[in-house]
Amino acid sequence: MQDRKEARLQAEKLVSQMTIEEKASQLKYDAPAIPRLGIPAYNWWNEALHGVARAGTATVFPQAVGLAAMFDEEMQQQIGETIAEEARAKYNGQSTHGDRDIYKGLTVWSPNINIFRDPRWGRGHETYGEDPYLTSRLGIRFIRGLQGDGKYLKTAACSKHFAVHSGPEAERHHFDAKVSRKDMFETYLPAFEATVKEANVESVMGAYNRVNGEPACGSKTLLKDILRGKWGFQGHVVSDCWAISDFHNHHMVTSTAPESAALAMENGCDLNCGNTYLHILEALKEGLVTEAQITEACTRLMTTRVLLGLFDDECEYNRIPVTACDTDEHDQLALSAAEKSMVLLENDGTLPLDASKVKTIAVIGPNADSVMALEGNYNGTSSRYVTFLKGIRSYAAAHGIRVLYSLGCHLYKDRTSGLAQADDRLAEAAMYAEIADVTVACVGLDAGLEGEEGDTGNEYFSGDKKDLMIPESQRKLMNMLKSKARKLVTVIAAGSSLNVPEGNAKIFAWYPGQAGGTALARILFGEVNPSGRLPVTFYHDVSELPDFEDYSMKNRTYRYFEGKPLYPFGFGLSYTTFQIMEAAVDGETVRTTVRNTGNRDGETVIQVYAGCESPLAPKHPKLCGFGRIAVKAGETREISIRLDPLTWTVVDEQGERQTAEHGILYVGLYQPDARSTELTGASPVQIKKKLKD
């Protein structure tokens, strides 16, 4: 990798030749060309959450929360590498044709490593779930994949949204997230610190909200004291889009646009996604910023462009052809990811289906033939979408099985805009369910119901959810199918905790990407053993949770929840059975032996939790290691799992870490809680540790 000091020197030389007006022009996301210096126009705004987004044809992988459900670091990095390959392929082709517009650059504003603290948050499906360690590891590996290990950065990744951002969406432009130092350093910041220190992420994006009174994109505490001071971050900081204008328009911490620009720049925000930095020269005239500050911000940005090889015609990535995008190999990776992400929540023996015994399948529901149910948000456009219906139909056709399809109802009544009733297909759905051997009900949500404020159809809640139920139109459908279907398999497409009670078997498919239908069919018929695990806790009802605007971790996520979850963090069933035979700690590694005691080959996830005996420890043991392993029927295999370096630490009320005196490691297939044991009958191996002499 090119040395940052050398890249910085090259950037400084380039910036030294610019006028103050030219320097200022480069601080906005749509930076203009400076022809006399050979600097082309560059648009910094690109997205790559689970594939190259919003820029035409690209491979669409499962939504981020689905990638988290894989609990697979290696595949996470491989997916990042694939996305970077496609981003370079598209950049090379598009820039050759003079297209340097938005979503066409190499600075990708991904991953979203905020903590999914409350299931009502509409953007939660963009994250890697509710656990700081899982989020850290998957964020690190995704960033390493995106940035590569060549001479130059393959793409420049971005950890966002710094910090403490997880709703409510409707309030985000003026909301003040009040957080204790303990919760800050125990829950909200570890993933950001890890991606800065371990993955060398090139950029960090600020959040819209205030944090303890300071707007995140102009926070001295976050950007100066912690990010650059405590952690030594060397890359550039970008604002969330139009967040700096919120300083004076909504947060009311400044009075004018120049004052807002000055506050952001003073605290280290280099790049403005928005237009407030158009006022930076006015701020300079008013004495609110200095030319040295403008120069420094411009130098940091030019350093990133140097590190990307954008001023080197011989950059090794310039030779990636446009045909490297949307390949068969990438489609297979998307399929594998979808298969590993889907979570079997319930099964009374109905699954897997026996193709030799099933003659007719009814596929019913608003998400059965929906492309939106595959995509999630911040997505690209695939040329290979396989909906749930198409995947089942393709598999069924190869085995002589008849497929009957009915929409059943609309996703929610408002989507029809009054042109049809929400229950206009109930009779059709009922008659198909009555005659089919098996009914597969495809229900849930899509990114038009849960997502980002301004991007969704759920305008009243701005993308957030008011409850954990599927829409009423779908509840009517499911109540009917429960009484009419001979066997009912419920498939839920969504990105967050939902309570959908009906069905002999239940699969949570997330938003599984372009190959979702193929993956579902292979799981339904037992070609693939389900192995996804929940990266979030599923609750019965929002009444079990604190107020949505309360950012304290008390009674939130598996580490602090005081009730009995519907489905626990880390949970997921299988078609076969596994057993932990033995486990031992060797330094910072756990070595364990797992046996497939069933009659099917399959993959499983080994989970390691630590319970520190300290009044400062979370209420429940915390995840501190995990590893995915494939084990054939009757086979025994060993796996080594690296422990989190923070395993035996606890955080005090001042946000400082200290080592606990004693602790217990739990090595198993699930979380060491009563609900997981109740659902699976599996108990972890316990290893006691004395941590201090």
Q: What is the set of active-site residues? A: 240, 450
**Cα→Cα distances 111→50, 51, 162, 540, Å:** 9, 11, 12, 29
Residue 271 phi, psi dihedral angles, 5° rounding: -125, 135
Please work out, in degrees rounded to the nearest 5, the angle formed at the alpha carbon of residue 291 by the alpha carbons of 287 and 296: 130
User: And the tokens for 243?
Assistant: 């967040």
Q: What percent helix, strand, coil does the chain show, rounded to 5?
A: 35, 20, 45
Residues 6+ away with beta carbon under 8 Å from 431: none
Closest CA to 351 of 503, 249, 215: 503
Are the C-beta atoms of 136 and 201 separated by less than 8 Å? no
Are the C-beta atoms of 414 and 473 separated by less than 8 Å? no
The kind and range of the H/E element at 361 are strand 360-364
User: And the tokens for 61?
Assistant: 């992988």
Closest CA to 210 of 174, 240, 237, 167: 174
Spatial distance between the Cα atoms of 502 and 504, rounded to a whole number of angstroms: 7
Three-class SS of residue 118?
A: coil
Q: Which amino acid is at 249?
A: N
Q: Print burial letters for 318-356: b (CB count within 10 Å at least 16), e (below 16).
A: bebeeebbbeeebbebbbbbbbbbbbbbbbeebbbbebe
Q: Which residue has the tokens 């807002």?
A: 260
Could you count the other beta carbons within 10 Å of the beta carbon of residue 658? 12
Residues 6+ away with beta carbon under 8 Å from 442: 363, 364, 365, 366, 367, 368, 370, 373, 388, 389, 491, 493
Closest CA to 39 of 313, 318, 296, 311: 311
Are the C-beta atoms of 445 and 470 separated by less than 8 Å? yes
Taking each continuous run of H as one helix and of E as one strand, the counts in the chain are 19, 23
